[in-house]
Structure 1
């Protein structure tokens, strides 16, 4: 059995008038994330972690932000395609661990829904997805509520 680990990191800017999508669900907030797609920073970091573990480069390589085909795309579609890519290489997801760094809104109440949503898309158990949330203690761009960041790690297994 071969085991591989990958790390992902993503950042998106917050702006008024945008929708806030995290982990495939929409959260109600005064600001949303800005990006070429729906800017789901959690899914993007997880995609990078999974792709990295399989040595398949990164999300930008597969879904370029210069490609009009991905303008406004639902990041759940990208996540599903990432899982198809790694399964084609013979890998299966063991688990994902992600940390969302944001001052507001409160993330913890939404974690169960995010896990269920992504587990369905990824065709894994919700228990295989760990999501945590923290703040940056009012420091940096996250602390000033200019954006959000996510760190993610994925473990893949190849039989």
Structure 2
């Protein structure tokens, strides 16, 4: 990495490339004409690449992958607002029917409009966490930062 690995944004960019490298490569090339390999030869500073990735629109492959995959295609701010409006109308309908019913407790609650589900976030690897300065416990080694504690001091 000739000049591309130690600049601002390197760790965050590394995390993103590790998780979504293919999508980032495709989006940057298709949308901006930028080849991500420029990071490694020094022609693309990591902070510039990170700025481009962070500016990708909601319908980009990278953002869709970060949100959970193709289930999120088309789910922008407006789609969530429409789903909330549908839920509100269903709730108002339920309240109206229950209020005009002889037994309001038997009127079933409406199901919410289906929305895509977020994938569970996975833990970043130990190297990235250590680079951030976090106290990381590993399965190997003895002492601070490991699962095997140091023995108590001799008296």
Q: Given the two structures, how large is their TM-score scaled by the length of structure 2?
A: 0.31
If each structure's strand is expressed as a fraction of its own residues, which one has the higher value?
Answer: 1
Q: Given the two structures, how large is their TM-score scaled by the length of structure 1?
A: 0.30
If each structure's helix is expressed as a fraction of its own residues, which one has the higher value?
Answer: 2
